[in-house]
């Protein structure tokens, strides 16, 4: 029950951060797109991206110093899975033009049909993947 | 630049939201995505809180002529759903369901999570760079095909 409260509170902060970026710089808070623009830089279009990314990192450092338990004690998958997952997330988010923040939050809030479709697809694809992984590994270890 | 501080603050607020909601914990994310285990639906409320907040502020902010620290709004134009969007979202979802990280929480965890998030992050950059290279090659191929076409028609004549 308390998890739901923290989820909504966190969501409000996420929406608030996205709103600030829109208010000041007129940009969508889409993290994959923000990083993609740093990897393929255009003049005058990099500094705000670095500001957003450093804010994200510093926010994480602050979380680490608090006792909200924002991070897991250990990663639940083998390290090699993190590498494979990273490759897929990197390629997929650029091909699909966005991730959970850009499509899931900012896009849906603007009633973008593309973002609604993308969010449905990646949530379903993520659920299918995570569920299959559990079923397969559960079957493998009696 | 005068807009650095508010933009930085936007990222920090977003990051705190990710951490408080549980999005920076792969165990929790996988608990949401994995329907075969003890399903934890609480992360759906992150989206509800974020969308409700942003939808309201978006409505107000879009009534401005321009943002405070820039000349105009940079919003994606409406476009039809295409194969790239669906394929990209599918591939992203597979990675998300395998690793439990999406891009925002991964960046937010760099200073707070274990070393695996760095593996994920670097691999993600490689995946993005691979996409950029693939896209450039496609663009080049398309341009070459365009310039070849008139020559070919000349030969046919």
Chain A closest-CA separation from residue B142 CA (Å): 17
The pLDDT of residue B1 is above 60: no
Candidates B85, B107, B132; nearest CB to A57: B107
Please write the tens of the pLDDT for every residue from A61-82.
Answer: 999 999 788 999 999 999 999 9
Interface contact flag, B9 A20, Cβ < 8 Å = yes
At residue A114's C-alpha, the angle toward residues A113 and A116, to 5°, is: 65
Q: Of A1, A59, A49, give the one whose Cα is nearest residue B18.
A: A59
Contacts with B52 from chain A: Cβ below 8 Å:
11-12, 15
Size of interface A-B (CB pairs under 8 A): 496
The pLDDT of residue A88 is above 60: yes
Task: Please state the ipTM of this predicted complex.
Answer: 0.96
Interface contact flag, A100 B104, Cβ < 8 Å = yes
Cα B33 to chain centroid distance, Å, stands at: 18
Residues A115 and A96: their CA atoms lie apart, in Å, by 10
Interface contact flag, B94 A126, Cβ < 8 Å = yes
Please write the tens of the pLDDT for every residue from B47-93.
Answer: 999 999 999 999 999 999 999 999 999 999 999 999 999 999 999 99
CB contact at 8 A, B119 and A82: yes
Residues B12 and A63: their CA atoms lie apart, in Å, by 10
CA closest to A70 among chain B residues: B19
Interface contact flag, B54 A106, Cβ < 8 Å = yes
Q: Of A11, A78, A120, A63, give the one whose Cα is nearest residue B54.
A: A11
Chain B closest-CA separation from residue A45 CA (Å): 11
CA closest to B13 among chain A residues: A17
């Amino acid at each position: 029950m308390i998890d739901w409260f923290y989820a909504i509170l966190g969501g409000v902060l996420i929406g608030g951060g996205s709103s600030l970026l829109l208010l000041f710089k007129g940009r969508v808070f889409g993290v994959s797109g923000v990083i993609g623009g740093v990897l393929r830089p255009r003049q005058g279009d990099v500094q705000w991206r670095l500001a957003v990314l450093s804010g994200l990192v510093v926010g994480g450092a602050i979380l680490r110093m608090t006792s909200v338990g924002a991070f897991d004690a250990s990663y639940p998958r083998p390290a090699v899975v993190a590498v494979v997952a990273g490759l897929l997330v990197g390629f997929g988010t650029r091909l699909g033009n966005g991730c959970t923040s850009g499509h899931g939050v900012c896009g849906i809030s603007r009633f973008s049909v593309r973002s609604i479709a993308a969010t449905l697809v990646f949530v379903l694809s993520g659920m299918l993947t995570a569920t299959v992984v559990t079923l397969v590994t559960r079957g493998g270890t009696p | 630049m005068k807009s650095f501080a508010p933009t930085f603050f936007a990222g920090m607020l977003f990051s705190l939201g990710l951490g408080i909601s549980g999005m920076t914990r792969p165990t929790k994310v996988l608990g949401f995505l994995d329907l075969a285990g003890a399903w934890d639906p609480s992360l759906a409320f992150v989206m509800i809180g974020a969308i409700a907040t942003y939808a309201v502020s978006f409505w107000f902010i879009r009534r401005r002529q321009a943002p405070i620290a820039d000349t105009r709004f940079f919003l994606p134009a409406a476009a039809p759903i295409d194969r790239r969007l669906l394929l990209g979202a599918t591939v992203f979802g597979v990675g998300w369901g395998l690793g439990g990280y999406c891009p925002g929480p991964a960046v937010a965890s760099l200073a707070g999570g274990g070393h695996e998030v760095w593996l994920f992050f670097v691999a993600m950059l490689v995946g993005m760079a691979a996409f950029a290279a693939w896209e450039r090659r496609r663009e080049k191929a398309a341009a070459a095909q365009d310039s070849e076409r008139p020559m070919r028609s000349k030969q046919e004549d």
